[in-house]
Structures are given as C-alpha cells and as structure tokens.
Amino acid sequence: MRTKYFIPSLMLGFILILGSCSEERKTWYIPPEQDPEEEPDESLADWAPTVPITYYGNCHGENPDGRPMYPWWGEHMVLLSYEADLEPSAMKKWVDAADTIYEFYLKCTGGRTPWIDSSCYINDRICLAATHGLPAAAEAWVGGTGIWMNSINFEGVYNSYKNGYQDGLTPYEMGRNFWMFGSKITYGTDEPECTGYSNFMARMATVEILGQTFSNPETDPTWNIDKLFDIYMSNPNNTYENTIAVERGIDNPYGQGATDLFACFLFELQERYGGLDWVVKFWNYVSQRPDAASEQTAVDNLIVAASQAAGKSLCDLFEEWRWPVSQNARAAVQALGLL
C-alpha cells in the first residue's frame, strides 16, 4: 500500500516550483471575461461566515489543538480563512471554481474520492486552508483530502478572484488529492508521473473546464511544455528509458525536467485523440488496469489505456516515440479489438 504523503509547491517571489522536482513554473493568472471592477454581490452577505470553526488539519504537526478559521462553504470544497471580512463575491467565485474542478477530477477517477483525513474533511467537504508560515506556496495530501496554502498565496489567489482572474494553484493542488493512479502506471516511485499529472490536469481544468483563455501565449503555463515534445522527438537519442524512467528531463531552453516531459506526451495525446473526452476516458481506463508488477507493466498499462481512450491501437505510435512497447501490451490491445 502506498503511503499518504505531501508534495509541496514552493514560492520564490513570483516563481512557483511545482512538486518535489526542481523545475520552475510561473504563477499564472488568467485574463477575465467579466469586468474586474464589478460591484460586490450583496446577496451573498448571508452566505459569508461570521463565526469561526475550529480547524484541526495540519501538515507539519502545527496547531495540534486546532485554530479558529472562517469557513466559506461550497458543495464539495470549503475554503478556510483567518479573516471574516473578505469580499463574499470573490470567495464565492473561488469556491465555485474549486467545486467545478473537484467534479472534473471525480469524473476522471470514475467517481473515486480521495482517502479521507477527517481533520481535513468537514461536512463532507475537502478543506483548503490558509496557513501561516507554510514553507511552500501550497501543500496537499497525495491521494487524500487536505490542501494547505501559504497565507501570502491564499491572499494572492483571493485577490486574483477579486480582480476577475482565475488561479492555477487550486487545480494543481487538487490534482495531488486526486492522484490515484500510482499503482497502475508507475513502479517503485510515483515520480515524475505524479507531478506531471498535476501539471497536465491543472491546465485541463483551468482552460478546458473553466473555459478560461490566455491572451498571451507566454502566460499559458503549458506553452513551453507543448514545445518539449518536438524537442524530444528531434533528438533520436532521447528515449523513455533514459528520460522519464530515470526521472531525467531533456536539454531544453526552458529549464523544465522530467515531470513536464511526461506531461507533454499527455498533451500530445489529448490534442490528437479527442481533447477532454480522451482525458476523461484515459484516466478511467487507467483505473481499470491491473496494478503494475514492473516498470514495463506500468508502461504497458499506460499504452493500453491510451489506446482504449483513442479507440485505436497506439502501440506503433509509442514505439515511434521511443517508448518500450512489449508484446504483452500489443496482445492486450489486440484482445480489445483495437486496430
């Protein structure tokens, strides 16, 4: 059984380091479609919290006796702030977006929810809590409930919603909560797939699910991840075995490593084979694969699931991409009637 653990997102100025790897990622905010100067919705005044609750969730053993936090309730998520005087309309936009992201992840897991840590799960809702002194932008249980956001970043995300923008940190960290595929497509370690999954899914949630767009390609958090695929393919010496399998990236001008390299293959697949529909099908098919007993069976599981989601055999394609394609994978795909 895999152990529940944290992977932090570290903040250095406005640079967001996602996951346990060292590659850097810009914190991104997405241009609004609505007027950022719109007046607060006074009808939400009754929804805003006035009485704190005692929150016991922690990620480093701090506050064992709990701390007073103000709850902003959504359908699936609850945001916990130190202050009660935040603008209700901004917090409502944030929790509504979080609920929508939750539902997207739930669809991808076939309805499986994260492991429940009762201290981070209140009234059937996952807690996303501001945390003073957190040594990272945010941290989350991997495969379990609970997200903690550095108070500075919590305020920054709040301000982004207040000014009519969307954030990328919430969907990224929720991807940690919904990482349930390690036993299927990894063997020995969950990296770089776990962080690559969160990078990929955060973009899918933000752009495809929430319907936000990027006015400038360089504000798209994946603009250079997309370019990694062509860079990888341009060098015939690059293979799965000497990159992703050993948690090593490729030479590239963006300073991105193995996690983004893994993500770039997912981007390429969804662009070729059905976009969001492929994404949802793929992760559901991954869930149905047997647990991997070796690195090769982990790769086989991914290839078979990708083929099922595409409705055709992708064995030759992965071989062209210099991934190891076993005869077992080919036989499994053929047995499914995929050509």
Tell me the pTM.
0.85
Helix (H) or strand (E) holding 227: helix 223-234
* Cβ atoms of 225 and 202 closer than 8 Å: no
Query: How high does pLDDT run on average in the chain?
Result: 85
Q: 28 vs 14, 69, 222, 237, 274, CA distance in Å?
A: 9, 27, 10, 33, 26
* Integer Cα distance of 35 and 211 in angstroms: 16
Per the omega criterion (within 30 degrees of 0), is the bond before 135 cis?
no
Contacts of 281 by beta carbon, 8 Å cutoff, 6+ apart: 274, 308, 309
SS (H, E, C) 14-75: CEEEECCCCCCEECCEECCCCCCCCCCCHHHCCCCCCCCEEECCCCCCCCCCCEEEEEEECC
Write phi, then psi, for 85 (nearest 5 degrees): -95, 30
Per-residue pLDDT of the chain (339 residues; tens, 9 = 90+): 333 344 455 432 222 323 333 233 333 334 344 444 555 555 788 899 999 999 988 766 556 568 899 999 999 999 999 999 999 999 999 999 999 999 999 999 999 999 998 889 999 999 999 998 888 899 999 999 999 999 999 999 999 899 888 788 999 999 999 999 999 999 999 999 999 999 999 888 887 777 765 444 444 555 578 889 999 999 999 999 999 999 999 999 988 999 999 999 999 999 999 999 999 999 999 999 999 999 999 999 999 999 999 999 999 999 999 999 999 999 999 999 999
Pairing of strands 29-30, 25-26: unpaired
Residues linked to residue 115 through DSSP beta bridges, in sequence order: 144
Residue type at 281? K
* Integer Cα distance of 237 and 257 in angstroms: 17
